[in-house]
Amino acid sequence: MKVLRFHGKNIINGANSLEYLKQVSYKKAMIITGGKSMFRSGVIDKIKTYMEKPGCELKIHSGISKNPTKDQVMVALEEAREFKPETFIAVGGGSPLDAAKAVLLFYEFPELNFDNVFDKSLPTERTRTNFIAIPSTSGTASEVTHVSVITYPEKNLKLAIKTECLRPDLAIIDGNITMSLPAHIAAQTGMDALTHALESYINTNGDDFTDALAKEAIEGILEWLPVSCEQATLESRQKVHAFQCMAGMSFSNAGLGMVHGVSHAFGGLYNLAHGLGNAVILPYSMDYNKKDAAVAAKYKNLSKAVGSDIIEKVRELGRRIGIPACIKDAGVAEKDFQADFATLTENSMLGSTAVNPIKVSMDDMKKFVHCVYYGEKVDF
């Protein structure tokens, strides 16, 4: 028996769905967002307009970086404790959404903190707070997942806090919000979503429900992501926005794999953007995992659906939308990579690598990390 949960109470999907905020009741709401992009695009002003109600207070906390840290969460948490909201609204990319989840967890359950969050049995339900998530990028699907990924600078690690109470109550999937995304960000976040779908699809914890969501997301992203990057039409942005959400619903139930383990290792050490790391590593992982018979059969199924070899299709998409061929080309200095190699490989064995369909040995991981950095073929 398996319990599946794909999202919170509701998903509001479609262009202009941000207007749904007019229907939200609240007394005090705190918005958590990133830097300046949501202000420049006018999204924050729209939210303020839609939520303007007599006797209600709205507070904005900004400044969450692309890899949110413990310190950033704590600053936002102190502000929340002073303001005392009953509603949290996370708006932006996966980073402010993940940061808001950690703030929400420690705010509602003050006995929890970064020192003990991995040592305790975490609560599964919230009773004091409401949580609305509004993604501005089409990648992490944090708006429907129970996961918060936070960077621990003192450990050079990105670690995932997981519990059902982190899953937002309301997710708003409005393609209009993504229209200001530059092409390279649309590319990286879209490849992040494709990674979620592909890793979920081959995970041994998946089932018919997660496979169906993942497969539809894979086919949809392969079709619409190039259009989203090259033409930036509202239709293409809305399509990718929806497909990334479906990928999130799949992986939050089935799990991920080694791409995320390795990507978090590079992200934790070098502040490499998560979507970019996943995008680069993905085809290498597919070459590694295809030696498993069950994975190979699933790749064959996907190849039939998309009309060509799925691994080459992913590589071709990466080249087309400007994804670097290897981590070295993504900007990580060779001298740093060589100096940090032992730490990188150790950290790459953590997290989602543990649920990769092929159990990864340390010897294989050393070869794999070498290949993804230098762009060498994975043939072991």
pLDDT tens track for 322-331: 999 999 999 9
Q: Please give the Cα distance from 370 to 13 (Å, whole number).
A: 41
Q: What sections of the chain are H helices per DSSP?
A: 37-40, 43-50, 70-83, 94-108, 183-202, 208-230, 234-254, 258-270, 274-289, 293-306, 310-320, 334-339, 341-348, 362-374
pLDDT value of position 31: 98
pLDDT value of position 158: 84
Q: Please give the Cα distance from 273 to 188 (Å, whole number).
A: 9
pLDDT value of position 87: 98
pLDDT value of position 35: 87
Which domains occur in the chain, in start order? 10-177 (3.40.50.1970), 182-374 (1.20.1090.10)
Which residue has tokens 């997942």?
Answer: 145
Q: Please give the Cα distance from 102 to 151 (Å, whole number).
A: 11
Q: Please give the Cα distance from 76 to 362 (Å, whole number).
A: 38
Number of neighbouring beta carbons within 10 Å of residue 88: 26
pLDDT value of position 1: 80
pLDDT value of position 157: 81
pLDDT value of position 180: 92
Within 8 A by CB and 6+ apart from 100, the residues are 32, 76, 88, 90, 131, 133
- Where the chain has pLDDT below 70, the residues are none
Rg (alpha carbons) of the chain, rounded to whole number: 20
Give the tokens for residue 55.
Answer: 């006797």
pLDDT value of position 67: 86
Q: Please give the Cα distance from 375 to 281 (Å, whole number).
A: 10
